[in-house]
Amino acid sequence: MNYKNLHECIVDLEKNGHLIRVTEEVDPNLEMAAIHLRIFKKGGPAIFFENVKGTKYKAVSNLFGTIVRSKFMFRDTFTKVQKMVELRNNPIAALKSPFKFASTGIAALNALPKRSSFSSAGFKEIKISDLPLIKHWPMDGGAFVTLPQVYSEDSDKPGVMNSNLGMYRIQLNGNSYELNKEIGLHYQLHRGIGVHQTKTNKKNLPLKVSVFVGGPPSHSLAAVMPLPEGISELTFAGAVGGRRFRYAYVDGFCISLDADFVITGEVYPNENKPEGPFGDHLGYYSLTHEFPLMRVHKVYAKDNAIWPFTIVGRPPQEDTAFGALIHEISGSAIPNEIPGVKEVHAVDAAGVHPLLLAVGSERYTPYLKNKRPAELLTQANRILGTGQLSLAKFLFITGSDNDDVDCHDVRRFFKYLFERIDLKRDLHFYTKTTIDTLDYSGDGVNEGSKLVVAAYGDKKRDLSNEVPKSISSADFVSNAVVLMEGVIGLELNKFSNYENAKTEIQKLSEYILQNKNEFNGIVQIVIYDDFVFEKDPKNLNDYVWITYTRSNPSHDIYGVGEITENKHWGCEGAMIIDARKKPHHAPELKILPETEKSIERFFKKGASLEKWA
């Protein structure tokens, strides 16, 4: 469907069984989020809140909650856009199969933004306090916009075709923000808006920013689409939505005419305020830090405006489907952007940036019998220098001569790599470097380390599927579990400090060396504290979340029989990852028991959500 607005999308979803209405009054303070999380966990429909306490506006969430529903919303344009991406990556394909790509001409026409009249759009001026002020998690610093389309322009090349549209969270109230006059703008590394603000800062000018909320779902998807620098997201919004992006300028600010709400304002050089905390997509709180302050100019809304929102937390959540949709559209781009790399997978269950898997190629020395990583290391460096892929903290990369490795099958990928890894040779550390803003495992904000694990060659070992029997006699280990083939988890005392941790793990390493024959099939040992792993051995979500979000490679990786040769670190036996909670880690997200009790009224017999009780 080529929706003109969000209302048309909601009508279409409801007609086709993809949406449910909540008619009772619901509190935007924690209740709406808790309802969303429960419905999402059960694979439920989009949720239309008709009666939001404290505002006249309705709200909708879980629009992108499943890949099936996401593709349903773009069913008329999805294939055409895939062809456009394929055409950009491989223009020769159009010459070989001209009829296959015939429809892309129409899609390309829709990509051109269209300037129209603001007066005909039906906007009225309102205040920030009139909006649905939704607080998601108990420790959140206030209400946030979680599906914003944040628009800015290049001051050197103004205009929509050189604009940036990104999804950067907006804090509407709380902390020291002056209500209705100030809001917080949170953006991180490798975001286009940062380039724009850098330019206006040098000119000592404010950056004009517009925040669009609502509109056709294609506009939200465009805001998270990782397009090459210099390509306007508005063109993608038009192509995937099957309708040109309509806009106007008011007081020098760009206005999306199809949006439900628009907030305009200015960001002045070096003007920041504390933003956060915010329950984020790694499953922990993003803590309070200084981020740009946006001075509110005007706020607009349409009479029948609908406020879309999402809830992020420990993955998988609704943004997981966003990621899956993006991969289906643009997955073919990676082999063209990075020569030799066949595919990459930012593992959602680990919070995306902490863990990246990649399949590359080894073509440098086919004449040598002794196979070892060579080209893979070149490709790893290229990956870590490419856009948001550069935020990866752990990068595991391998290659196969038979193309039988799929990095989207996480268990199979790890099994293949762990069967071939040389722990003395294949671990490559990057210390004192930048990591994701939301990752608190490092030394400070954006500060930490990375580890590249590059393994290739013939199979070296059979992986063990059992806990070594000798562990049962180790009095310093509380619980031992198999996390996957070749990986076990051991519960130790709670983490106190790094000095004690080194002593504890040295003791463990010496114990393992005394019983090393039992550990021949163990490649990785994860140290944890009070976490209870899910018993289903097919579910790797607990393993990847605990291991890769709670560890800083340079500080938290040890090894059985550690070796340092010419500044290269390795180990004779298993690598040990200390994934216990550290004092500097952010708290994990939890719903309050009283909130869980409060929302039961929506699920009781005769209530709107009875079916989903």
Task: Tell me the pLDDT tens digit for each residue of 105-143.
Answer: 555 678 889 999 999 999 999 999 999 999 999 999 999
Task: Tell me which CATH code domain 331-455 carries.
Answer: 3.40.1670.10
| pLDDT computed for residue 337 by the predictor | 77
Interaxial angle between packed helices 233-241 and 78-89, expressed in degrees from 0 to 180 and rounded to the nearest 10: 140
* Cβ atoms < 10 Å from Cβ of 274: 18
In percent, the amount of the chain with pLDDT more than 70 equals 93
| pLDDT tens-place string over residues 576-611 | 999 999 999 999 999 999 999 999 999 999 999 999
Contact 396, 379 (CB under 8 A): no
All residues at 6 or more sequence positions from 342 whose CB lies less than 8 Å from its CB, including other chains: 334, 335, 359, 360, 361, 403
Distance CA 361, CA 138 (A): 47
Read off the pLDDT of each residue in 540-549 and give the average, rounded to a whole number: 96
Question: What does the pLDDT read at residue 228?
Answer: 65
Which is nearest to 115 in space by CA: 261, 263, 245?
Answer: 245
**At 487, is the pLDDT very low, low, confident or very high (cuts 50, 70, 90)?**
very high
What percent of the chain has pLDDT above 90? 73
Query: Number of helices and strands (H, E) in the chain?
Result: 17, 31
CA distance 588 to 96: 52
Place of tokens 């440098």: 364
The mean pLDDT value for 454-463 works out to: 94
pLDDT at residue 99 is higher than 60: no
Pairing of strands 289-302, 123-126: antiparallel
3-state class of 73 per DSSP?
A: helix
Q: pLDDT at position 91, please?
A: 45
Residue 253: is its pLDDT beyond 70? yes
What pLDDT, on the 0 to 100 scale, is given for residue 189? 53
Residue 83 has pLDDT above 90, yes or no: no
Task: Please determine, for residue 319, whether its predicted confidence score (pLDDT) is greater than 60.
Answer: yes
Distance separating the N- and C-terminal Cα atoms of the chain: 31
CATH of 6-73+111-309, one of 2.30.110.10, 3.90.226.10, 3.30.420.240, 3.40.50.720: 2.30.110.10
Q: How many residues does the chain have?
A: 613
Fold of 469-578: UbiD C-terminal domain-like (3.40.1670)
Q: Count CA atoms within 13 Å of residue 39 on its CB side.
A: 34
Residues near 141 by beta carbon (within 8 Å), at least 6 away in sequence:
171, 174, 175, 274, 275, 276, 277, 278, 288
Q: What is the pLDDT of residue 239?
A: 85
Concatenated DSSP letters of 162-226:
GEEEE---EE-SSTT--TTTEEEE---TT-HHHHHHHHHHHTT-PEEEEEEE-S-HHHHHHHH--
Q: How confident is the model at residue 291 (pLDDT cuts 50, 70, 90)?
A: very high
Residue of 332, 467, 456 whose CA lies nearest to 399: 456
- Residue 95 — very low, low, confident or very high, per pLDDT cuts 50/70/90? very low
pLDDT band at residue 92 using 50, 70 and 90 as cut-offs: very low
In the chain, CATH 3.40.1670.10 covers: 331-455, 469-578
Cα-based distances in Å from 473 to 46, 134, 529? 52, 52, 19
Quick check: 383 pLDDT over 90? yes
Q: What share of the chain is helix, strand, coil (3-state, %, to 5)?
A: 30, 25, 45
Q: Could you give the CA distance from residue 363 to residue 386 in angstroms, rounded to a whole number? A: 21
- What confidence tier does 84 reach under pLDDT thresholds 50, 70, 90? low
Q: Averaged over 452-473, what is the pLDDT? A: 93
Which part of the chain is CATH 2.30.110.10?
6-73+111-309
Q: Choose the weakest-confidence range: 217-221, 322-326, 420-424, 599-603.
A: 322-326
Q: What is the mean pLDDT of residues 287-313?
A: 96
Rounded to whole angstroms, what are the CA distances from 175 to 142, 144, 367?
7, 12, 64
Q: Are 564 and 425 in contact (CB under 8 A)?
A: no
